[in-house]
Structure formats: structure tokens, C-alpha cells
Copies of this chain bind each other. A is one copy, B any other.
């Protein structure tokens, strides 16, 4: 599988980031990734169809929130925390402080 395209930190757009996080499914993915620091797609679906999850991961990747790399037959996702903290200081902290 060809590697995914991840925008460089300097290209991150605030509106895009906020939009990506405005969906409950995606926000939960990000919250989980903040805890475990790395997880496969399968570990993060809530019994949801794979195609739906694939869509959400793509939105998160395109917004620059999540980094995905191939590891064997799975895709490992991680939060681009340092990039985000550098570009939008305090944003992720404020969002993750939210207890759902």
C-alpha cells in the first residue's frame, strides 16, 4: 500500500483542524489516540463499518491531526501532537482536557 500523504506542520489550517474535530466519531478517535499514543484502525472503530472509519481517518490525516503508517498488515495511527502543539499552542490540550 502506498504511503499516505500527510500535510507538513506549517500547512495546517485552523478551520480544517476544528472541522475534523467537530465530528463525535473523529473526536473520540483523537481522544483515544491521546491516551494510547498509537493504535490500529481496527482498535478504534466502535463496531462501525470499515469504510466509514476509513473515511474518518482520512479526514483526520488530511487535517494534519493523525499520522498513519503501515506496519505489516495493519495501519498504525498516532496523534501529531508536537506538530499541532507547535502550530496551535494549547489547542489540543484544551480540547483533550474535555471529559466526555
Identify A91's interface contact among B14, B19, B94, CB under 8 A: B94
Chain A: residues with CB nearer than 8 A to chain B?
Answer: 14-16, 18-19, 21-24, 27, 88-91, 93-95, 97-98, 100
Contact sample, A vs B, 20 pairs, CB 8 Å cutoff: A14-B95, A14-B98, A14-B100, A15-B22, A15-B27, A16-B22, A18-B18, A18-B19, A18-B22, A18-B27, A18-B95, A19-B19, A19-B22, A22-B22, A88-B95, A89-B94, A89-B97, A90-B93, A91-B91, A91-B95
Apart from A15-B21, A15-B24, A93-B94, list 8 A-B contacts with CB within 8 A.
A14-B27, A14-B100, A15-B22, A15-B27, A19-B22, A22-B22, A89-B94, A90-B93
